[in-house]
Chain A
Amino acid sequence: MSIQRMKKRKNWLLGALAIILALIIWQIVAAYIIRYPFILPAPTDVASAFSALVRNGTLMLDLQASLIHFAIGLSLALIVGIPLGIAMGWNRKFDAFIDPLIEILRPIPPLAWIPFAIIWFGLTAWSAGFVIFVGAVFPIVINTYSGFRGVPRVFVEAGKMLGCIKSRDLIRYIAFPAALPSVATGIRIGTGIGWMCLVAAELFGVSNYGVGQKLWWYYNIHQMDAVVVYMIILGLLGLGFDLIFRYYIDEHILKWRTGEVA
């Protein structure tokens, strides 16, 4: 165990080294080769832009607005996507009924929905949420569906022999827990895609705040160091969501999978 931990720490140090190296190279290239902050602001420029942004205080409001958009989109995607995936995975008739429709809608890029999002929901948080919803919902549906399709028959039959007979109980006690790894993968992919849709969803001006909205705004006033600050914030938040999955879901809710090939 302790050897493993030491190895982990070594790997962590290696990763940190790569980031530091990248920062140094970036600084050298920006400050001594390009020497034009509009094209490539140096890390030091970005750092001072960051502290200025923190001091004048819109950063928190931007984060708040973006997280509200994202929460709306992701919640809708979960509320619609998981039940839909379950119904498709459990009931072949329903699958045959709804699958062609989903396959037609699925390839439409989420951003292509922006005009209708504005017409339907106006310039509100809901229209940004809708675009994020469109991005996140399909991976959730598809992975929930394939998770349910992959539930081994023997689990369902063992459940039946132990008095778990009704469809509702079989879904709740057998199929859903068995499909949970796949459902979690769907949520994770959906979260990632939804996050990518955030910037575009905020571009069309649903609010005066938002990480994506500010990114574009600072570009328009040619403050590229602030643009980089918002890019980094977007990256770090996305990473944060993913870490929640990796360390919380995988190690707590899906703890039973350790030792299986996964």
Chain B
Amino acid sequence: MGNLEIQDLNQSFPRDDGSQLVVLEHLSFDVLDKEFVCILGSSGCGKTTLLRLIAGLDEAREGSIVLDGEKMTGPSPKVGFVFQEYSLFPWRNVIDNIAFGLEMKGIPKEERYRTAERYLDLVNLSQFRTSYPSELSGGMRQRIAVARALALDPVLLLMDEPFGALDAQTRNMLQKELLDIWDKTKKTIIFITHSVDEAVFLADRIIVLTPRPGRICQIFAVELKRPRDRTSGEFAQVRRQVLDLIGQHCSIQ
């Protein structure tokens, strides 16, 4: 299961002059089990803050985050995270990076390698089993990071603009691969992006946030059939709808 309920989330940070910088305001939404949700918003709207709260890396000032009936209070093995920056441990080779979480759980070496190998296969990088992260391209590093997050078999996968630093071609390829993985593993995914194109290609639903402070502007269901063709007319139409929406309601007035 992977049902996430977010209730009236508020987050603010103290500023140097003593006032509060409000980052997120009255945020409430649900994510259903096995759903792919994209959170779309401009830079600085609090997307990453929101994801870090869900992950339990930061604590919300107010509000609650409930995963499958359980209130989240810190990092949990039920939640996987793929960071925007390259986060592979450079001193561990690929297979030991993927097996890291299993090692922390105390799973014996042979078994954790077997599991790690399966996820390495899933991202199609088996031939790089013993490479070090510094020997891999940016795209490969993020694919390994996905495999590493999945190796603990979380119910919810959080992705913070994981393809943001990649070139357009690699990006498109990884989006397809991610959908394949989602199809095979049936995780609930929350994916942050500032690219409308990416959101329309990936998501069941798009949650559009307003610029600072981040509030939900609109929740948009993408009804396009999968596999989606980003050159098709329908795709362009949905894209335009989302863009219009952002232009009319969700930008700085």
Contact = CB atoms under 8 A, between A and B. Distances in A.
Interface of A: 152, 154-155, 157-165, 169, 173-174, 177-178, 180, 255-260
A148 B86 CA distance: 19
Interface in B125-152: 132-135, 148-149, 152
A174 B81 CA distance: 17
Interface string B82-97: 0101110111110000
Contacts of B132: 255-256, 258-259
A174 B80 contact: no
B105 A174 contact: no
B81 A161 contact: yes
Nearest to B86: A154
A154 B87 contact: yes
B163 to A, nearest CB: 16
23 contacts: A152-B85, A154-B85, A154-B86, A159-B100, A160-B57, A161-B55, A161-B75, A161-B79, A161-B80, A161-B81, A162-B148, A163-B101, A163-B104, A163-B105, A165-B75, A174-B89, A177-B91, A180-B91, A256-B90, A256-B91, A257-B134, A260-B90, A260-B134
Contact of B81 (A158, A164, A169): A158
Most buried by A among B55, B91, B133: B91
A contacts with B: majority SS: helix
A259 B148 CA distance: 22
A51 B81 CA distance: 67
A163 B77 contact: yes
Interface in B141-173: 148-149, 152
Interface of B: 55, 57, 74-75, 77, 79-81, 83, 85-87, 89-93, 100-101, 104-105, 132-135, 148-149, 152
B91 A160 contact: no
Nearest to A258: B134
A165 B57 CA distance: 11
A257 B133 CA distance: 10
B116 to A, nearest CB: 12
Max chain A C-beta neighbours (<10 A), residue from B85, B89, B93:
B89
Q: Lowest 7 CB-CB distances: which A-B pairs, in order?
A: A162-B101, A259-B134, A163-B104, A161-B81, A158-B87, A177-B91, A160-B75
A158 B89 contact: yes
A205 to B, nearest CB: 46
Contacts of A154: 83, 85-87
Given A157-B57, A256-B132, A259-B134, A162 B87 contact: no
Contacts of B80: 161
A38 B103 CA distance: 66
Nearest to A165: B75
Contacts of A158: 81, 83, 87, 89
B101 A259 contact: no
A257 B83 CA distance: 21
Nearest to B99: A162
A185 to B, nearest CB: 15
Contacts of A259: 132, 134-135
Contacts of B75: 160-161, 163, 165
Most buried by A among B77, B100, B149, B152: B100
